[in-house]
Structure 1
């Protein structure tokens, strides 16, 4: 069960979620709004049901015997089998098991689940790893973090996280206008009271709980009242969830298999003087520790996120190849070059994952964390648009004009469609499905949302480049160059010796 309004994180766990249990647990009395109306049960609402059903299908895979060893692990303390994403890795083999499990999940979802349960579970692992630092800052906070992690893992909770601040006035300081950011209003014997909002909380309408922690954009801001980490069930009194427009349906006949299944939903969270119990607070008013912790707790999620991105690139590559084959351009040199570029992107993601494993190191919390691959996150954001553009350029105008299922069923239209809208070795009906799939990936509301997600979810690209520059060790090269320019350049003597013949010339 999701944590109720009164349940402690130390309550006994129920083990792996089933799809049916997940559906039932979403009907928990949360205050959830879509298009101005209160949604009482996301699992049965037509806007959310396909996405809930897809998550339920994936959760059910954990219970199939052939996937048990890959997708689950046995908790030594309880004997429960838990989701692999929640396993704290102590060895390289355990880290690689996380990778293989995440690869399975993201292959099933075609790389479209940015905030998959596997991704968010790895952030819970990061919070668990950081517990000693949290405890050192304030007695009890580390114990709270550990208890919350165990509660999530032992109940296989689906999580969301909230970082972004409302786009009210980014030029202003929240100290001068406190409504610009979530803040702590008071501390009392029961906990802390928070007021404010968090935007773009992906998956919140379909999750059990939300983890709230300091956004990187707070790095230079003043005001300790804005620095807080906590986690809450999404049915907490005073917590209001507002959904954006769904992206998985259209009124004119086209099926939207990707948007319907994989629209994770993004939401605004409004905290209307919400009480956060003390056992749900992990960090308070310590900006330096929050900045340090931001990278630490996301070490594993960055790794899992890159696994997801690799699968998205593979999906784009396969789609582009099928498009090219369907209209007979796959033999054209420029098309092959574009496909090769996309294949190169997909292959590079493998190198980045291997590098993260090769650079893995034990943290002060005792877990094995993937090595920092900040450059790969910058690169991923830089090439994301190019990857989508390759698919668009191959599909070209065909992405815009494809018949619907009802068009294909119309006896007056069908002969024309079979003659003029077929492809090379592919009928009009299958070709229309392929091109509509490509449009969903790259052009319609769902595709544009996925493209924007790639651009923004890794954080501000300019800031990430600057941080990469500041962290990169140039010491040895700078020293050599300083030595080189410290003295005047002298002309090298010209040698009059005959050229050496101590080699054998080799011709290809």
Structure 2
């Protein structure tokens, strides 16, 4: 599915189905798992998420959702994903929002790097192309061609912006492997060496997009400043995956991890060649720093939609668990459930606010409101949300029967008598509490919680940026100064200082 210049329409077929998506992963990608090179289409560690992604892609072709997830390409006439629509009217933005809600609702907010996410980074890249063109006109053309290529081929992308944790106390001069860098410049492109970490969903993606990490905005060496995109199946690009959460060798239910363990990967760029037409920015640190937030505007917005649906999943599980063990009407439990509901509603209202603060960009599109406050809020409350579920469920998170226990004729009468719940049988209760355990207690839940803490960037940096960029701050400070000046004047009028004699 490679493209060059104006050939991005070659073999374009519009939105993937589940079957065509799985088939499209049959390339020469180098994916390593537990010391072995694997085929993600057939290895059991990848099977659950692959099925789930296929199901989500099939929604684009379903009678119920086709119209809400696709639009017609003006170039080819094919149906293409609304994830790749660059909105220029409120109606187009609303259509994108409905599409994102469908992706997130149908995955229960459990796939943070769902294909809808990085597709919207590509929308941001396309919107920022004119600024890139000020650095080099070819960068603008590359960004536009790449956007069209991704849109017309329904490309699934990961992005890799995190630098490896080697020695972050060292400077790049002291430890050049701390960040990806250019090691050779050629007439037809550049060669890069280094690593990027936690490229979520990478084994299932067609492409990876790499751009400057915000942790290194102040890089002075131009060899560390580059934006580019490459096929996962690029020579000398190696993916090493973490341990899967899906390979359970028992009969306990794992309804979440078996479907949504989207994988994270280290990407090793072992002197990887990047052709010129795949480069979007080179050497210019200021353009990279200014563009990082710009190209993320739509992706960060759909990330909040995903978080909203994740919170709804927590609320549903907590509410059902409280009913299943007869504690819903306990005052302290009602307080916990109310707190969780307040977070759901606050995020919903914030998303509405972002929709109503559409702002025109210099690229001619409409971007949502700034998400910095919601980014910080989500990282701040995510651990608390998990703690609420732990409090509501109590010790039931620790001890539940397996599917084999439930099927055992000796154990089943005991389980019905002592491990059922209020108005629910032991089968429903055990499966519900297993779901809760996955959300908040086991390896899958802990990985998800870590993700929520860090995926929007450092919460401290985000809070500082929010304060420094808050548009109403100057007026607020002026009001306080006026209040102090007015109070001082009134005090002086009421109690004039006597003249000295």
Match in the other structure for 1:476 = 475
- 8 Å contact 2:56–2:103 — kept in the other structure? yes
Q: CA deviation at 1:4?
A: 8.3
TM-score scaled by length of structure 2: 0.95
- 8 Å contact 1:175–1:222 — kept in the other structure? no
Counterpart CA distance in 2 for 1:3 and 1:248 is 32
- 8 Å contact 1:173–1:221 — kept in the other structure? no
Q: CA deviation at 1:7?
A: 11
Match in the other structure for 1:490 = 491
Counterpart CA distance in 1 for 2:235 and 2:5 is 11
Counterpart CA distance in 1 for 2:164 and 2:219 is 15
Aligned pairs (5 A) from 1:210-229? 210-229=208-227
Alignment match of 1:302 (pick from 300, 304, 307):
300
Match in the other structure for 2:499 = none
Aligned pairs (5 A) from 1:354-369? 354-369=352-367
Q: Structure 1 residues 278 and 123 mapped into 2: Cα distance closer, same or farther (>3 Å)?
A: same
Counterpart CA distance in 2 for 1:388 and 1:68 is 34
Alignment match of 2:129 (pick from 128, 131, 139):
131
Match in the other structure for 1:72 = 70
Q: Secondary structure at the match of 2:463?
A: helix
Match in the other structure for 1:19 = 18
- 8 Å contact 1:246–1:263 — kept in the other structure? yes
Alignment match of 1:234 (pick from 219, 232, 253):
232
Match in the other structure for 2:30 = 31
- 8 Å contact 1:5–1:235 — kept in the other structure? no
Counterpart CA distance in 2 for 1:11 and 1:70 is 26
Q: Structure 1 residues 180 and 5 mapped into 2: Cα distance closer, same or farther (>3 Å)?
A: farther
Counterpart CA distance in 2 for 1:115 and 1:327 is 34
Alignment match of 1:87 (pick from 76, 85, 88):
85
Counterpart CA distance in 2 for 1:115 and 1:426 is 35
CA deviations on 1:131-186 (whole Å, 9 max, x unpaired) are 11111111211111111111111000111000000000111111221111100112
Counterpart CA distance in 2 for 1:64 and 1:111 is 21
Alignment match of 1:352 (pick from 316, 335, 350):
350
Counterpart CA distance in 1 for 2:483 and 2:85 is 51
- 8 Å contact 2:218–2:285 — kept in the other structure? no
Q: CA deviation at 1:488?
A: 6.4
Structure 1 stretches lacking a partner, 5+ long: 495-508
Counterpart CA distance in 2 for 1:4 and 1:280 is 9
Q: CA deviation at 1:24?
A: 1.2
Q: CA deviation at 1:15?
A: 1.0
- 8 Å contact 1:175–1:223 — kept in the other structure? no
Counterpart CA distance in 1 for 2:484 and 2:319 is 52
Match in the other structure for 2:150 = 152
CA deviations on 1:415-448 (whole Å, 9 max, x unpaired) are 1111110000111111110000000111111111
Counterpart CA distance in 2 for 1:64 and 1:181 is 43
- 8 Å contact 1:211–1:231 — kept in the other structure? yes
Q: Structure 1 residues 476 and 405 mapped into 2: Cα distance closer, same or farther (>3 Å)?
A: same
Counterpart CA distance in 1 for 2:150 and 2:330 is 52
Q: CA deviation at 1:13?
A: 1.5
Counterpart CA distance in 1 for 2:281 and 2:68 is 34
Q: CA deviation at 1:74?
A: 0.5
Residue 207 (structure 1) aligned with residue 200 (structure 2): no
Match in the other structure for 2:430 = 432
Q: CA deviation at 1:493?
A: 5.6
> What RMSD in Å do the two structures reach over aligned CA positions?
1.7
Aligned length: 492
Counterpart CA distance in 2 for 1:219 and 1:453 is 22
- 8 Å contact 2:6–2:145 — kept in the other structure? no
Counterpart CA distance in 2 for 1:170 and 1:92 is 43
Aligned pairs (5 A) from 1:76-475? 76-472=74-470, 473-475=472-474
Counterpart CA distance in 2 for 1:45 and 1:12 is 28
Counterpart CA distance in 2 for 1:177 and 1:493 is 67
Alignment match of 1:62 (pick from 57, 60, 63):
60
TM-score scaled by length of structure 1: 0.94
Counterpart CA distance in 2 for 1:455 and 1:363 is 29
Counterpart CA distance in 2 for 1:363 and 1:154 is 24
Counterpart CA distance in 1 for 2:322 and 2:134 is 58
Q: Secondary structure at the match of 2:2?
A: coil
Structure 2 stretches lacking a partner, 5+ long: 496-501
Q: CA deviation at 1:485?
A: 4.1
Q: CA deviation at 1:490?
A: 1.4
Q: Secondary structure at the match of 1:186?
A: strand
- 8 Å contact 1:249–1:259 — kept in the other structure? no
Counterpart CA distance in 2 for 1:145 and 1:18 is 26
- 8 Å contact 1:10–1:147 — kept in the other structure? no
Counterpart CA distance in 2 for 1:489 and 1:287 is 52
Q: CA deviation at 1:220?
A: 2.6
Q: CA deviation at 1:373?
A: 2.5
- 8 Å contact 1:249–1:256 — kept in the other structure? no
Counterpart CA distance in 1 for 2:5 and 2:97 is 36
Q: Structure 1 residues 9 and 76 mapped into 2: Cα distance closer, same or farther (>3 Å)?
A: closer
Q: Structure 1 residues 4 and 93 mapped into 2: Cα distance closer, same or farther (>3 Å)?
A: closer
Counterpart CA distance in 2 for 1:7 and 1:327 is 62
